[in-house]
Structure 1
Amino acid sequence: MRQKLQASFLLLTAMLLAFSILGISPVKISAAETFDVQAESAILVDAETGKILFAKNADVKLPPASMTKMMTEYLVLEAIEKGDISWETTTQISDYAFTLSANEDFSGIGLIQDKDYTVKQLYEAMAIISDNATTVALAELISGSEGEFVKRMNAKAEEMGLPEYQFVNATGLGNQDITSIGLQAPEGTDPNANDLMSARSAALLAYHIVNDFPEALDISSTLMSELDGRPLENLNWMLPWEDNNYVQYGFDGVDGLKTGWTKEAGYCFTGTAERDGRRLITVVMKTDSKGARFTETKKLLEYGFSQFGQEELFPEGYQIKKESTLPVAKGKEETVEIASASAIRAAIKNGEEKSYSVKYNIDKEKLNENGELTAPIKKGEKVGTVELSYNGEVDYGYITGQSKTQQVDLVTTTAVEKANWFMLALGSIGEFFGNIFSTVSDTIKGWF
């Protein structure tokens, strides 16, 4: 055994020596190339910058099941912000919603008709246990009918820039599931259609929720609530449960966002967690089981928090060498200094800090035909943008668009006053005679 170990050691030493002599480096496999999750599609996003840290089949449209309710949640929160409704606004349960609530196969919890329910009660049931009837009740309250609400869902998806989506109801049930219990699909939708979203679209929707309405996380992280005396137990097993059945899935910092399951969709989950001021967003679609969606989400979060850090790459006031000034026309000074208006922070993979650079995008509308700014110029005046560029191997882009990068304003660091009329006149005279001299000079040269 000892002789075998010695032989293996000598072989390894010889190989390394050969690599060194021949100038060959042992192959390095990056974490991005070896990392994977057991889901049909998945994505990992930095919630502050929108940078995508990992993606797998992220553009494939799939049924999202109850992750559809994230759009309903967003529109409810938006209606509250606009003052159209409040958390204390009340509504009653329609016959359509009541029929859904009585069906346990559709997460029905059995609502009561002829009773006033507050928006807060309905929203909690929708967000915590994914109840479908309370979701429909909210849609009807906001738009009058679920069919009209679906129109609003699709309009908002377009406004957000979701790249792949189709909303046909507010809940995420298949329309065929709805018709199977004697109900009609929402007006204006195909009775056989499903809601559809890609992992990228689900992540972008979640990105808007956590950034536009962070209060949504207060409810999505609620372990237990109640409605009509019945307990509402959160379906998210990654929250800080003490139950031994769930503790294996727990992940410190998780506070949302939405589970989903239908026969067509399989088990899916849009998750989010915050640690040390950094927030990540994850989506997994079509995993094998209830537990698998959380296990795979945990892998994504561990990868994101361990392999990436939030770094300030370029400070406020950063200037590119040899590009720190712009020429000025009609000013008391001939140039003005320019610099970044704010720092550029990014989610950086460990060891890739030097894979980033910046470039200036000067606003051409600010320049005259000679490429000059025209005085007067104010201090802090925006003259363009500073754009972050990544020069590494794997670039998934940003959740807000395939080609969008991070940018901050490029501004002037001082003011430049307009030159007085006398100096401008002298300048014009000098320019006039200069042009004459140049013309005469060129003419004389042409004689010889």
Structure 2
Amino acid sequence: MKRLYLIEPVVGVYAFAMFMTYPLLQQYIYRRLWEQLTGAPYASKVNFSRCEDDNSNLSRQHEAVQREASLFFLYSELCFLFPSLIMSLLLVSLSDQWGRKVAIVVPLVGDVLFTLSYFLVSRYSLSLNILLGASFLTGLMGGPASLVGGCFAYLADICDNGEKTVRMALLDMLLGVLSGLASLCTGFFIRAYGFTLPFLTATILHLLNLAYALCLLRETEERSAAPLPPGLCLLQGGQDGGPISVPPVRAQRPLCWTEVLVGYGSAISTAIYLSSFAGVYILSACLRDAFIVLLGLLSVAAGMVMAAFAKTTLLMFLVRLPLLLSIMPAPVLRSMMSKMVLSSEQGALFACVAFVEMLSVGASLTVFSSIYASTVSWFSGFSFLLAAGLTLIPMILIGTVLCLRLDVDSEAEALTGENDNETPGEMLQMPSWDAS
């Protein structure tokens, strides 16, 4: 059977299956807790888009369930985060010696087990504690950070420097567009069939993806049969480390939105990925990579500022407009990093990236949740303004490096021009003049 060098199907099917699962599990947990705490079935046809306007007993019940659901999601995230930090670091690093597929196949096995556990819990109404164990097991298999890191390392192996930026932007676009479409479909899927069949569908998609990775995806190159110790691999990759990429993050469920409204919001967000890919494709032909990153960071800051003052559903949808170029920094930074290291160090590089990005996600979840809880009573948008302010740090750092590089380039061009104007005789006489 002929094998292919196409990593895009793996990323596409994974994004669709996984981001169909995230809204499912969030809403499933919410409804199971609702039934446990209230003893009544969940009123799924009611759209509570403005929770604070309702002071009735129903509103208090929603607040109680939201607290319990938030705690459960926090425990689940912590069960997943810590093992994923270690395993993503090891798997993607070891792919330099064992092949890129080790960082792709193992997380896919974990995703199959993860969605299968939700299917069984939903089908037979098993204890929710089983799902915490499923999160821990998925983390032990590497999780999304390992798979995405392995896919980008795979792409770095098969692309030359000229096409890395666009191909990596294409992968980001696939992640965003298909995840948005999956979220849109999920809302209607839940209303039509409940939770059991969607969880089973996600399990089947992961199985098909695993079969493609095992049987059709070709390894990029032959690897050494005797791998270096993981610590040495990481030290070698860390010598030329670079900026951090951003993987797809588990979407948070907007409070009191129905499943269909959640899907609409995710689907509209796909425009961000399409416009960001178009921006990278067009701007990479005429701008330095650093300038593209700065434009993307400005887009992020503008979107966060607008979100801080958005109080209605319409404004929350319109927040996507200033965010249209916000995904550009991620693929461009990946491309810049990949160009700085040898081909034998791509896995170690993206392993370090996966470790830091998962650590930052966990830290941001804790920090921003605490900040939001402390500031929601006097200004609910403070967290968004803080996020916008934090973008100034990478903007200043990148701007400084860019200015230094421009100075070096200008000096080099000036020296080149002076050398071109000198005659061979003058150049030969210079050493004797300096010696005198």
Higher helix share: 2
TM over 0.5: no
Task: Pick 1 or 2: higher relative contact order, CA cutoff 8 A, min separation 6.
Answer: 2
Please tell me the TM-score bracket, short chain as reference. Answer: under 0.3
TM-score, normalisation: structure 1: 0.25
